[in-house]
A = this chain, B = another copy of it.
């Protein structure tokens, strides 16, 4: 039994009338966060470069496009980005390369986006708006292949790919700018986040994206391996977590894992998706070698530290989340494929 614990009245207090900037704001999580903030009464500025390999999609903000501002800026263009910082109350730092294989194929671009731009943005905060509250979206990838499950924040960090190294550096810059300069930063290490508005064109935004597409198109989807256990966060729950991380003073200068309600093997998840869709099928395949080399095996987050600190609880279970995702994409499929 899952209950909604998100304290909406408090969030209205924190975010009503607040000026909020979201980098990667046209993406999956960014646009869902934007919709929520618009509802809470924030003045929202989205920054995005609409990079073709990212989750950015103008359709994501179609229902709210007149109620926020969109700046087409690459996060690497820090002088331009820095110009938007003065007066900002909150900065949600969601822009980033997320591809693991891409980070191996083009490591320097991954570094420029995930390290260099983040460090430069923090420098801008320090110089022009040290009072801003910053939340950085990081990834479980920084831990690498777990020594134990569930993985808490004390687990050693041994990133298995360039993306993981660069995101880890991003985490550490954020904590450093808190410890040395007092900037109120929080780092959330996300696991598989899924839901409406995600990229489903391909597997770039977790494998769930391409599964959704295939099942909706009546095609079999591929499950690689199948026996790995993973955990999943529905996007509205991830958005709650980002807002709580920003709103709660006791979350500052800290790194938190974010997990979900239930861990499943990929085959179990495949079965659930087929059942939520009322039909479909998948084939289990072995890993392609270039993916095998950087795969982390089982991963389940221990997110008790974040729950205890902020009161966050996931409100949407995996069956419900898959159903909502299928409903959304059935209606909007043409905009996402």
Of the residues B119, B156, B162, B172, contact of A168 by C-beta under 8 Å = B172
Q: How far is the CA of A168 from the CA of B172 in the complex (A)?
A: 10
CA distance A156 to B175 in the complex (A): 15
A116 adjacent to B123 (CB under 8 Å)? no
Taking the full assembly, how many copies of this chain does it contain? 2
Interface string of A95-128 (1 = CB under 8 A from B): 0000000001001100110011001100100000
Residues of B within 8 A of A157 (CB): 157
**Which B residues lie within 8 Å of A176 (CB)?**
159-162, 165
Q: Does A185 contact B (CB under 8 A)?
A: no
A294 to B158, CA, bound (A): 24
Residue of B nearest to A172 (CB): B165
Q: Which residue of B lies closest to A78 (CB)?
A: B108
**Which residues from chain B contact A154 at a C-beta distance below 8 Å?**
156
* A115 engages B180 (CB within 8 Å): no
Among candidates B108, B175, B180, residue contacting A119 with C-beta atoms closer than 8 Å: B108
A285 within 8 Å of B (CB atoms)? no
Q: How far is the CA of A257 from the CA of B13 in the complex (A)?
A: 50
Task: Give the number of residues in A that approach B within 8 Å (Cβ atoms).
Answer: 30
Q: Give chain A interface residues in 160-210, CB to chain B under 8 Å.
A: 160-162, 165-166, 168-169, 172-173, 175-176, 179-180
Contact residues in B for A175 (Cβ distance below 8 Å): 158
Write the nearest CB–CB distance from A265 to chain B, whole angstroms: 25
A254-312 contacts to B (CB < 8 Å): 293-294
Return chain B residues, CB-CB under 8 Å to A162.
Answer: 119, 173, 176
Q: Which of A115, A161, A165 has the most CB of B within 10 A?
A: A165
Q: How far is the CB of A185 from the nearest CB of chain B, in Å?
A: 14
Q: Give min CB distance, A228 to chain B, whole Å.
A: 19
Q: Are A111 and B119 in contact (CB under 8 A)?
A: yes
Q: How far is the CB of A284 from chain B (nearest CB, A)?
A: 25
Contact B169 A166 (CB under 8 A): yes
Contacting residues, chain B, for A115 (C-beta < 8 A): 111, 115, 169
* Contact status B294-A180, CB under 8 Å: yes
Interchain CB contact under 8 A, B156 and A293: no
Q: Is the CB of B161 within 8 A of A180?
A: yes
Query: What residues of B have a CB within 8 angstroms of the CB of A161 in the complex?
Result: 176, 180
Nearest to A290 among chain B residues (CB) is B180
CA of A207 to CA of B159, assembled, Å: 33
Chain B contacts for A108, CB-based, 8 A? 116, 119-120, 123
A111 surroundings in chain B (CB, below 8 A): 115-116, 119
Residues of B within 8 A of A173 (CB): 162, 165
- Which 6 A-B pairs rank lowest in CB-CB distance, beginning with the nearest? A165-B172, A169-B169, A180-B293, A107-B119, A165-B169, A111-B119
The residues of A with any CB-CB pair to B shorter than 8 Å are 104, 107-108, 111-112, 115-116, 119-120, 123, 154, 156-162, 165-166, 168-169, 172-173, 175-176, 179-180, 293-294
Some 7 contacts from A to B, beta carbons below 8 A apart, are A112-B116, A154-B156, A158-B175, A165-B173, A179-B293, A180-B293, A180-B294
